[in-house]
């Protein structure tokens, strides 16, 4: 079981953090620059850590070169995903 979630990624931030939601998309800041997929990798790692799944369970479905992305998370329902992302603080 897996789900997809819309993400608005902000690279080159001061910290890796999940900021909240805007217009139906999860807003995430990462310190990595958007060069050679580093920001995308940082996004997937941050989401995996927050959701308690392996990094291979989180993959980018759409938006590799855009700030607006769609991420798929395997092994987590959408309700659980949203609940975990809302309930945790911003520490990386």
Q: Where are the domains of the chain?
A: 2-87
Identify the CATH homologous superfamily for domain 2-87: YggU-like (3.30.1200.10)
Percent over 70 (pLDDT), the chain: 92
Mean pLDDT of the chain: 90
pLDDT tens profile 10-54: 999 999 999 999 998 999 999 999 999 999 999 999 999 999 999
What pLDDT, on a 0 to 100 scale, did the predictor assign at position 76?
87
Q: Which residues pair with 29 in a beta bridge?
A: 10, 17
Percent over 90 (pLDDT), the chain: 74
For residues 78 and 13, which has the higher predicted lDDT (pLDDT)? 13
Dist CA 35 CA 9 (whole Å): 13
Task: Give the ranges where the chain is alpha helix by DSSP (H).
Answer: 38-51, 78-87
């Amino acid at each position: 079981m897996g789900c997809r979630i819309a993400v608005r990624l902000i690279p080159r931030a001061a910290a890796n953090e999940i900021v909240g939601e805007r217009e139906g998309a999860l807003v995430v800041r990462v310190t990595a620059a958007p060069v050679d997929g580093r920001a995308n990798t940082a996004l997937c790692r941050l989401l995996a850590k927050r959701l308690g799944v392996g990094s291979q369970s989180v993959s980018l479905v759409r938006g590799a070169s855009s700030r607006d992305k769609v991420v798929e998370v395997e092994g987590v329902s959408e309700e659980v995903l949203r609940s975990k992302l809302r309930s945790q603080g911003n520490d990386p």
